[in-house]
Structure 1
Amino acid sequence: MTEPDMSLASLDEQDRKKVQELMQKDARAERRLAGPWRWLTALLGAAMVLIYFYGAGVQALETQYHLGVYVLITFVMIFILYPAGSRLALFWMSLIAAGLLAVLASSYLVFDSPTAFYDQITLFRETWEYDGLAAAWANDFGDLRITLLLVVPLALVLVPLDLWLARRFPQAPTPSDVLMAIAIAVAVLYWISQFAALNYRAGAENQLDKLISIVGLLLSLEVCRRVLGWSITLIGIGMLCFGLFGPYLPELFAHRGFSVERLATALFITTNGVFGVMASVLATYVILFIFFGAFLQKSGAGRFFIDLPLALTGRSTGGPAKVAVMSSALFGSVSGSAIANTVSSGAFTIPMMKRAGFKPHVAGAIEPAASIGGMFLPPIMGAGGFLMAELTGTPYAQIMLLSVGPAMLYFLAVFFMVHFEAKKAGLVGIPGEEIPHWRPVLRQGWYYALPLVIITALMLMGRSPGNAAFWATLSCIAVSWVNRETRMGPRAIWGAIQLGARNTLVIGATVGVIGVIVGVISLTGMGLKFSDLIISMAGGNLLLALVLIAIASLVLGMGVPVTASYLIVAVLAVPALGEFGVAAIAAHMIVYWLSQDSNITPPVCVAAYAGAAIAGSDPWKTGWTAFRFAKMLYVMPLLFAYVPAILLDGTPFEIFSAFMSATLGTIAFGAFAMGFLRRRTLMHEWAILGAATFLLYWPTLVTDVAGLALVALVWWLQRDVRPGATAAAARTPETGGMG
């Protein structure tokens, strides 16, 4: 992760605002707190970092503290840092806060306890169901009427007070924000303190359990809405409605249905919902790697991650674009976010590409197309790799080993597409005198790569990912002291701690909604029904099933962060792929790769729009161009499905053959996708390259020889290339090229 303001410092004010607005589509803007509130959130963030570093490096935390502390600190910080939104949203939040206060007051002032209060609500609801609302209201429920009446004066105080304070002090939390932060803290602390008892009485929860669950679940949804907006929150609300109204749904989706209490307790106080797989993966792996990324950035490694690719490839054809590919691989392997990767390296590489002659929309597209490759490249792979390890029961070190080859093939594809694009446009590299030689750059900064080597080596040696992240983070501090200019003292370490803690909030906000979605799917058995639906629609055709899953992933990704999209589609679609004979790890890889397409595929493609803002190009055109450079995103899932050896499932010879064929196929695919080999391809040459690509990807000696022969044929057909002809062909539309 990186600091946006630092990454965008080289842009003018207008472009910087555009990029910041796009980054806020992934997450709403935080408040800029001051005074006690700033110190409170700083201390909470520091506590999170230190507690989880202690758990990873010294002594493991018990389950309730391991999950509960993360959810507690994350949710409280979000209520303090993120505003409710518009005046209308603030109005409704004030009403809800007034309702929570009324419930609390009446539980102790009107009733004997919260249990007695909830008993009265239960009795009222049962009377309503049997005798109707009028009869229930006419009965002796006077204490409940007092509770409702309490809401009125509390709302009359809170609503205008919140609205006035939000207008007068926009960078400070409102009273409603504070009340909700306290309420969610009480709910999570109750879960932590009653963890053993809740497990003991699972299925027979008491009234207080139910009341806490309902409040905690509603506030978990509000946490997500504040950070990520309505799109994913409405999906969570829709899943709750799906769980409630099962008997009234069409036959294909119908189920027996669940009561509000059953849903709330299953989704909040068990480890199948809010405190389920997403919270477990985030607390166990992801936040520690996010902390590591923050410390690595503060150590000064970011400059080295650009200087080395610049020295290695800057002089070659299309050099600046190749720098973007290589720097994106280095940044993306630790950033955990495609848009953060695009902004971090793109603020430097996109202007450099434009100066080298790349059209603005091409420069703005190459960076995000390369940046999403960081989601596939170890050691971090966003959060998806850790989720995959949790869902499949596969050690993360093995996930890393399986992922390296496909990730390198992705970058190879983008690299060659960039090369052919530059050749087609007649572009050259950066003049040699403007960039240093790679040897002095490597000699002066090689040690910045040590944390990446350490974290990878420790995991391959069998250490847990969390423990590896702990030692690698400490190594970042040590590495920073090699260079006097980058030394991390107490102030820089504190800054890294705060950056790491803030960077966990966006993904942490999804915990509640993802818990709801996954929990409801599990409760209702919808996963099996979805699998049956895909199998029946595909008619036994694996390729058609992959197309259906790709469409589902793209549609879901329009409103859901990619990690969440992967988890949801994995729960629904992996069983279906299993029915087609696809191995579990291959099925998860397929879903994970396809889940990234919304980053670069219009109409959403926030990463591509960020590249467009930096490049000053048309966002729509940039998005489609990014899709063109990222086509490998759809090729690798096919290889996962049809060539098991690409995931090291086979004999050494089969694995070698698969990667040799894939490498040759990827180079041919670059020429095919760009419509260029020695010059622009004519229609028949382009068709021959397509056939060659298909043959080369299929891992047999016969198909490889046939594919190479077809590539050689196209190379021979284009033998008439003369000096200057490439650039002329690029300017002449009559050549019939398939760009």
Structure 2
Amino acid sequence: MATKELTPEELSEDTQQRLDELLEKDAKRERTLRGPWAWLVATLAAAMVLIYFYGAGVNVLSTEYHLGVYVLITFVLVYLLYPGGGRLANVVLSIIASFVISILLSSYFVFDSPTALYQQIQMFTDTMGYDGLVFALQNDFGALTWLLLIVLPFAAVLIPADQVISKRFPHSPTAGDVVLAMGTAITVIYWISQFEALNYRAGAENEVDKLVSIVGLLLAMEVCRRVLGWSITLIGVGMICFALFGPYLPDLFAHRGFRFERLATALFITTNGVFGVMASVLATYVILFIFFGAFLQKSGAGKFFIELPLALAGRSVGGPAKVAVMSSALFGSVSGSAIANTVSSGAFTIPMMKRAGFKPHVAGAIEPAASIGGMFLPPIMGAGGFLMAELTGIPYSKIMLYSIGPAFLYFLSIYFMVHFEAKKTGLTGLPADEIPNWKEVLKTGWYFALPLVIITWLLLSGRSAGNAAFWATLSCIAVSWVNRETRMGPKEIWDAIQVGARNTLVVGATIGVIGIIVGTISLTGMGLKFSDLIISMAGGSLILALLLIALASLVLGMGVPVTASYLIVAVLAVPALGELGVAVIAAHMIVYWLSQDSNITPPVCVAAYAGAAIAGSDPWKTGWTAFRFAKMLYVMPVLFAYVPAILLNGTTVEIIQAFFSATLGTIAFSAFAMGYLRYSTNSVTWVLLGIATVLLYWPSLLTDAAGVLLIALIWWLQRNGTAPVAVGPNTSVKSA
């Protein structure tokens, strides 16, 4: 039987604008560069991809180049691609750029060296105040005056020039942007060239080290502000203030405090800040997997990821919603972003769900609820899985094994929730003419699964994550050549390189501020104090501690990306969970799962708002509905804490029992969450269903038997219930 060609729904101009606005909140919109600037950016992007493919597949890069090249290219690309803001922001940035120029020129033309410049600045700051200023003017501070005077003529030129450029040439970076990009490049190149020497003089940095650190740290914060806005940047500013004014804080948070230059050197030129764990994980793992995802999409696999679930589940009860769950699992396992997953697969699945009879806000909610499951599903798991491997010291291949079962339970919960939702409202599947034959889909597209098989096999066989991504990316090019229509030639490969490189910028822009946050926590000992605070507030109760961590993660997630949220909360909360008897891997899994809640939990829930934009539904209502479908996000952390076998920590019998119980419990929980089993529940059957869910989740034969008997009792009590009239794509819901 002939089937319709599967194409994404054409979005209206208004809907596309709403989507763009939402995506801009998640990451500010890039410039569309033209001419030489476009070629420069494209060359830098290609250089990043080629250098890290070389490092992963041919010869390992030394630490300074491995970290430094990534930070260098990322920061320069951000300054060239992302505008600084409005008129006032451009004026301030022009002045800052003038200071950068004046520092550079004064270091060699006004003073004898950068060391002499820094010594003069230090003398000036040490004698601040009216008396100090008089002393400075009376004691030959003429050279420093020259530094300030040099700023004025450059500012007088840059301010109007930047205003004209931003107005007349909006597709080009301003002169100030170029200066800041060059200043950033100089500081990073200094770090690369002096890497070994900096390690030798750690704790005894010279004046040039301090000057470079101060400038580099401030410019790194500006990179984050441009891409992710003020919320996360102000958190970084707050952490700097916390480090500077430690002696003046309440006793619970007080510490000895640090001078700004001491703080800057600790956060910039050591491997505990900007070039710390976040930069290491991104350069080692994440960017290579982002490149892999870009090549996989370009190979034509996206269509296969939609058509296979459609062929398998399209005709079943609530079929389009089940297709959304299955396709989101496939997309999400390689996309690394819940929002990108929602937009890419939602363009197909959300209109399909609406045509099948799902209400717009429900269709818009199911897709983002399913999409965040991709953050838990190997082989990629977003950036969080790699961070977890780095923080715990556990090989990523083991993190993958630990994650498969919980990810399966998450998707199982949403699958049954949409099944019960469809049964509750009497929805049927799609007509046969809209569904491809599964045999034909497998016959014509099975090879698109090979890159996923290859990357998983290489990881489990002990290859490094970077090397696995290298070979899997090459396999994407190979499989694209099976079909003439999807073959990747030089143009397609170049496009995939550009998309992959630019996709790394959003997460790469966080390096500076995340380095500040994590480095400050380590430097001040705040992690242990926060741990004590959680234990004290929870009164030693593990379940209350989980609730506090969930709230902290949700609040933090309103201002920072989920990966950054995971890293920050992990540094603060994992020690507390350890004190309460939770294993390290379980504690990290708890924090990682909870860090995803801001994607679907109001008031932020950008992924849910993206689903609402595609569905044309109320964003607030869609957000709460997405929260309803994603409740497993809060159940799994409890299982991690109380059932160690769910993370393969136990005997074979204990692990089998844990997953058997968890599977039964998840099905019961889905019915409980939707208020429907055989028919809609009343207050009595709903309470009984909740009790059965708790019994089934606890891993023992006795509780499982009791839970199954309760489910059977509810099924019997509902024997006289009333079913809704079946609804298809061309009918509406009516009472029976």
TM-score between the two structures when normalised by the length of structure 1? 0.97
SS of alignment partner, residue 617 of structure 1 = coil
Matches within 5 A, 1:389-538: 389-538=389-538
SS of alignment partner, residue 582 of structure 1 = coil
Provide the C-alpha distance between the structure 1 equivalents of 2:529 and 2:507, rounded to a whole number of angstroms.
29
Aligned to 1:254: 254
Deviations 1:480-539 (A, max 9, x none): 000110000111001101110000000000000000000000000000000000000000
Alpha-carbon contact 1:107-1:113 (below 8 Å) kept: yes
Report how far residue 21 of structure 1 moved. 1.0
Bigger drift between 547-556 and 428-437 goes to: 428-437
SS of alignment partner, residue 29 of structure 1 = coil
Report how far residue 135 of structure 1 moved. 3.6
Report how far residue 721 of structure 1 moved. 3.9
Alpha-carbon contact 1:31-1:172 (below 8 Å) kept: yes
Matches within 5 A, 1:120-135: 120-128=120-128, 132-135=132-135
Aligned to 1:165: 165
Aligned to 1:313: 313
Provide the C-alpha distance between the structure 2 equivalents of 1:90 and 1:716, rounded to a whole number of angstroms.
70
Alpha-carbon contact 1:365-1:622 (below 8 Å) kept: yes
Provide the C-alpha distance between the structure 2 equivalents of 1:302 and 1:532, rounded to a whole number of angstroms.
47
Provide the C-alpha distance between the structure 1 equivalents of 2:338 and 2:608, rounded to a whole number of angstroms.
9
Provide the C-alpha distance between the structure 2 equivalents of 1:7 and 1:641, rounded to a whole number of angstroms.
43
Provide the C-alpha distance between the structure 1 equivalents of 2:75 and 2:7, rounded to a whole number of angstroms.
28
Report how far residue 13 of structure 1 moved. 1.1
Report how far residue 136 of structure 1 moved. 3.7
Structure 1 residue identity aligned to 2:101: L
Provide the C-alpha distance between the structure 2 equivalents of 1:9 and 1:95, rounded to a whole number of angstroms.
47
Deviations 1:306-333 (A, max 9, x none): 0000000000000000000000000000
Structure 1 residue identity aligned to 2:61: L
Provide the C-alpha distance between the structure 1 equivalents of 2:543 and 2:186, rounded to a whole number of angstroms.
50
Residue 605 (str. 1) matches residue 570 (str. 2): no
Aligned to 1:46: 46
Structure 2 residue identity aligned to 1:482: V
Alpha-carbon contact 1:266-1:273 (below 8 Å) kept: yes
Deviations 1:248-277 (A, max 9, x none): 111111100001111110000000000000
Report how far residue 173 of structure 1 moved. 0.3
Aligned to 1:636: 636
Provide the C-alpha distance between the structure 1 equivalents of 2:674 and 2:133, rounded to a whole number of angstroms.
68
Structure 1 residue identity aligned to 2:523: L
Report how far residue 127 of structure 1 moved. 2.4
Report how far residue 128 of structure 1 moved. 2.6
Deviations 1:339-391 (A, max 9, x none): 00000000110000000000000000000000000000000000000000000
Bigger drift between 177-186 and 125-134 goes to: 125-134
Structure 1 residue identity aligned to 2:691: A
Deviations 1:390-420 (A, max 9, x none): 0000000000000000001000000000000
Deviations 1:640-696 (A, max 9, x none): 000000000000000000000000000000100000011110000000000000000
Report how far residue 442 of structure 1 moved. 1.1
Alpha-carbon contact 1:424-1:729 (below 8 Å) kept: no
Alpha-carbon contact 2:602-2:620 (below 8 Å) kept: yes
Bigger drift between 555-564 and 18-27 goes to: 18-27
Aligned to 2:3: none
Alpha-carbon contact 2:267-2:519 (below 8 Å) kept: yes
Provide the C-alpha distance between the structure 2 equivalents of 1:86 and 1:718, rounded to a whole number of angstroms.
62
Aligned to 1:542: 542
SS of alignment partner, residue 679 of structure 2 = coil
Unaligned runs of 5+ in 1: 1-5
Report how far residue 125 of structure 1 moved. 1.8
SS of alignment partner, residue 10 of structure 1 = coil
SS of alignment partner, residue 128 of structure 1 = coil
Report how far residue 124 of structure 1 moved. 1.6
Alpha-carbon contact 1:679-1:729 (below 8 Å) kept: no
Aligned to 1:141: 141
Matches within 5 A, 1:180-579: 180-579=180-579
Bigger drift between 370-379 and 143-152 goes to: 143-152
Deviations 1:218-276 (A, max 9, x none): 00000000000000000001101111111111111110000111111000000000000
Change (3 A) 1:723 1:280: closer
SS of alignment partner, residue 502 of structure 1 = helix
SS of alignment partner, residue 357 of structure 1 = coil
Aligned to 2:701: 701
Provide the C-alpha distance between the structure 2 equivalents of 1:9 and 1:320, rounded to a whole number of angstroms.
14
Q: Which runs of 4+ in 1 moved over 3 A?
A: 6-9, 129-139, 721-732
Alpha-carbon contact 2:662-2:697 (below 8 Å) kept: yes
- Say how many residue pairs are matched: 728
Structure 2 residue identity aligned to 1:420: F
Report how far residue 8 of structure 1 moved. 7.1
Bigger drift between 305-314 and 434-443 goes to: 434-443
Change (3 A) 1:138 1:494: same
Alpha-carbon contact 2:451-2:475 (below 8 Å) kept: yes
Aligned to 1:3: none
Report how far residue 729 of structure 1 moved. 14
Change (3 A) 1:8 1:528: farther
Deviations 1:607-630 (A, max 9, x none): 000000000000000000000000
SS of alignment partner, residue 128 of structure 2 = helix
Bigger drift between 152-161 and 595-604 goes to: 152-161
Aligned to 1:689: 689
Report how far residue 107 of structure 1 moved. 1.6
Provide the C-alpha distance between the structure 1 equivalents of 2:698 and 2:157, rounded to a whole number of angstroms.
71
SS of alignment partner, residue 482 of structure 2 = coil
Aligned to 2:21: 21
Report how far residue 440 of structure 1 moved. 1.3
Change (3 A) 1:100 1:237: same
Deviations 1:104-146 (A, max 9, x none): 1222221111111101111122223795444444432111112
Structure 1 residue identity aligned to 2:174: T
Alpha-carbon contact 2:424-2:680 (below 8 Å) kept: yes
Residue 63 (str. 1) matches residue 63 (str. 2): yes
Alpha-carbon contact 2:282-2:508 (below 8 Å) kept: yes
Provide the C-alpha distance between the structure 1 equivalents of 2:724 and 2:294, rounded to a whole number of angstroms.
47
Provide the C-alpha distance between the structure 1 equivalents of 2:7 and 2:101, rounded to a whole number of angstroms.
43
Alpha-carbon contact 1:679-1:726 (below 8 Å) kept: no
Bigger drift between 83-92 and 573-582 goes to: 83-92
Aligned to 2:678: 678
Alpha-carbon contact 1:680-1:729 (below 8 Å) kept: no
Bigger drift between 258-267 and 715-724 goes to: 715-724
SS of alignment partner, residue 467 of structure 1 = helix
Report how far residue 151 of structure 1 moved. 1.3
Bigger drift between 115-124 and 71-80 goes to: 115-124
Alpha-carbon contact 1:87-1:163 (below 8 Å) kept: yes
Alpha-carbon contact 2:600-2:626 (below 8 Å) kept: yes
Bigger drift between 432-441 and 298-307 goes to: 432-441
Provide the C-alpha distance between the structure 2 equivalents of 1:33 and 1:516, rounded to a whole number of angstroms.
31
Report how far residue 726 of structure 1 moved. 7.8
Provide the C-alpha distance between the structure 1 equivalents of 2:130 and 2:593, rounded to a whole number of angstroms.
51
Change (3 A) 1:632 1:148: same
RMSD over aligned CA atoms reads 1.6
Provide the C-alpha distance between the structure 1 equivalents of 2:133 and 2:652, rounded to a whole number of angstroms.
72
Provide the C-alpha distance between the structure 2 equivalents of 1:626 and 1:314, rounded to a whole number of angstroms.
21
Provide the C-alpha distance between the structure 2 equivalents of 1:647 and 1:138, rounded to a whole number of angstroms.
70
Alpha-carbon contact 1:389-1:399 (below 8 Å) kept: yes
Deviations 1:174-223 (A, max 9, x none): 00000000000010000000000000111111111100000000000000
